[in-house]
Amino acid sequence: MSLLLSKCPCAFTHRMALRDYSIIPALVLLVLGIVGILLLVLPANEMEKPPENMFGIVLDAGSSHTSMYIYKWPADKQNDTGIVTQHSECQVKGELLPVGGGISSYAGIRGGAAESLEDCLNQAVKDVPKPRHHQTPLYLGATAGMRLLKSRSECHRVQTGTEGSGKENAVLPFQIQRGSHPEWTEEGAYGWVTVNYLLENFAKYGFVGRWLNPGRQTIGALDLGGASTQIAFETSEEVEDKDNVMELKLYGQTYRLYTQSFLCYGQDQFLRKLLALLIKTEGVKPQVSHPCYPQQFTTSVKLGPDVFDSPCTQSYKPANFDPQRSVRVVGTGDYRSCLDNVQKLFSFENCSYSKCSFNGVFQPNVRGSFMAFSAFFFTHSYINSLSNISITSPSRLKEPIQLICNMTISEMTAKFKQKEKYMKNVCAVSNFVQVLLLQGYGFDNHSLPSISFEKKYGPSRETRANEGSAPRALGWHSFPLHHPPPHCTGIPSDDLQKQKD
């Protein structure tokens, strides 16, 4: 009996412990229930909501094509600069033109610019949420192609036609932005901003769920379009021409840039100037030899529309000629003669500063890494594919170009599996890039290997999670200035004076 009584307190204690443990789940459920009730009854505006997105539209009006890009960013900004991502895009078709071209090509076609943009702008109306329509800016990013229109009236006709686009939307619901005092040096800065933004050199999304400054070095940007070429990079040197320096504040950091845009030194206008130079040198006659065209290649051009109907070729125009006259151009495939003629399109004399790139334009020494895109990428791709030589030094750039210029047109098309119209200019443009990079910008054995030629770019070469292929367009939305991209101003006289006569 005593044994039984002595065991009773232990059994009682054990039962009490079990009952305490059984209460814990009930308490947890009670707490969770109270939290749930509070979440239901609290006013919605007392709970922190994720920021809503704002939207912006850029019509990237290049000289050879036009693209529309729609961007979005959180309504709250990171250090007064928006974290921008691409929402959608649309490539504008050039169906009304006999050959491809940007919207500047519609200067002489009534209503052509508006009609060409109709499909893309109607897509924008659908892609941007309707409540955001009237808060969404629409920029016409008028680049060098618009500058080359012969008059301001032509440019304004194209611009006005653009703003009236969209049959389904006679009045666009977006905020049409118009520029009043463009700075053409900004064109290079747009590409620089885009490249470094996509490489996460300004801001990187950290594991803590916040955008952080990664403390990385920025890289320079090299852009080669159809009508102009741009260079932009950070520099600590004194910039002797203040028109070439820009200070940008991005994501809480200040960057000091050298930037320059060379009008008439885009790929298309360079090829026009080269042909104009050859015709001027030989005189207007039925047949002209072209040392940069491959052997066995011939073509016919009209003196007006194909050669001299451009502000970039005015200094080469013969005194009296028939614009509709056709001239037969015969390729001779001569590397040395091609290079000599390409160099004549640059002026490396008459520098009024301590140092210049070309045409009397000041430039500090290039520094750091660079990314080259647009026509730079395609030219580099052709050189690598046709020669199987990697470009690691100035001499390694010269060697494959010599091989290419000595090829016949049939050898080139067979090796690259491309049509003649794409192959005919490879020798000329390769020599142009060689002169521009080495003699113009001053890249040498040390700095040339720092150039990365890219078609697309992003934070990861493997995943390219935030890749981009529109150098200027994203830059326009990341750019911390309070005025939109450039529009119609005609051709600055100093731009034409800087060309080689």
CATH of domain 53-181+483-501: 3.30.420.40
Assess whether pLDDT exceeds 50 at residue 501: no
pLDDT digits (tens, 9 = 90+) for 180-194: 334 556 778 888 988
143 backbone φψ class: left, alpha, beta (φ>0; ψ -120 to 50): beta
Q: For residue 469, what pLDDT band results from cuts at 50, 70 and 90?
A: very low
346-350, 386-390, 442-446, 450-454, range with the lowest pLDDT: 386-390
Query: Taking the alpha carbons of 362, 281, 314, 225 in that order, is the dihedral positive or negative?
Result: negative
What local confidence, expressed as pLDDT, does residue 5 receive?
Answer: 40
How far, in Å, CA of 300 to CA of 294, rounded?
15
Residue whose pair of structure tokens reads 């309070």 in the numeric block: 482
Assess whether pLDDT exceeds 80 at residue 321: yes
How far, in Å, CA of 331 to CA of 169, rounded?
50
Please name which of 249, 195, 212 lies closest in space to residue 368, comparing C-alpha atoms: 195
How far, in Å, CA of 136 to CA of 55, rounded?
5
- Characterize the bridge pairing of strands 245-250 and 253-263: antiparallel
Return the higher-pLDDT residue of 50 and 254: 254
Other CB atoms within a 10 A radius of the CB of residue 431 amount to 25
Residue type, 237: E
- What average pLDDT score do residues 156-176 get? 56
How high is the mean pLDDT of the chain?
77
Return the higher-pLDDT residue of 378 and 487: 378
Assess whether pLDDT exceeds 80 at residue 497: no
Please name which of 151, 264, 250, 110 lies closest in space to residue 194, comparing C-alpha atoms: 250
Q: Which of 186, 187, 200, 454 is catalytic?
A: 187
Phi, psi of 56 (to 5 degrees): -150, 150
What local confidence, expressed as pLDDT, does residue 295 receive?
Answer: 96
How far, in Å, CA of 449 to CA of 287, rounded?
41
Assess whether pLDDT exceeds 80 at residue 3: no
Assess whether pLDDT exceeds 70 at residue 158: no
Please name which of 141, 128, 139, 140 lies closest in space to residue 169, comparing C-alpha atoms: 128
> Taking CA 437 as the corner, what is the angle to CA 435 and CA 441, rounded to the nearest 5 degrees?
110
CA 302 to centroid of chain Cα atoms = 32
187 labelled catalytic: yes
- Angle of helix 409-416 relative to helix 375-387, nearest 10 degrees, comes to 100
Q: Any idea what DSSP says for residue 291? A: T
SS3 92: coil
In the chain, CATH 3.30.420.40 sits at: 53-181+483-501
9-23, 68-82, 105-119, 195-209, range with the lowest pLDDT: 9-23
In the chain, CATH 3.30.420.150 sits at: 184-474
SS3 260: strand
Which of these CATH numbers, 3.40.50.1450, 3.40.190.10, 3.30.420.150, 3.40.50.2300, describes 184-474? 3.30.420.150
Q: For residue 290, what pLDDT band results from cuts at 50, 70 and 90?
A: very high
pLDDT digits (tens, 9 = 90+) for 206-219: 544 455 666 789 99
Binding site feature residues for ATP: 226-230
CA dihedral (97, 65, 72, 218) in degrees, to 10, reads -170
Residue type, 64: S
Question: Which alpha helices (DSSP H) does 172-256 contain, by range?
Answer: 186-198
pLDDT digits (tens, 9 = 90+) for 360-406: 999 999 999 999 998 999 999 999 888 888 888 999 999 999 999 99
Phi, psi of 342 (to 5 degrees): -65, -40
DSSP secondary structure, 455-482, as one string: SSB-S-TTT-TT-B--HHHHHHHH---S
pLDDT digits (tens, 9 = 90+) for 248-281: 888 778 899 999 999 999 999 999 999 999 999 9
Burial of 498 per CB tally in 10 Å (0-12, 13-18, 19+) = middle
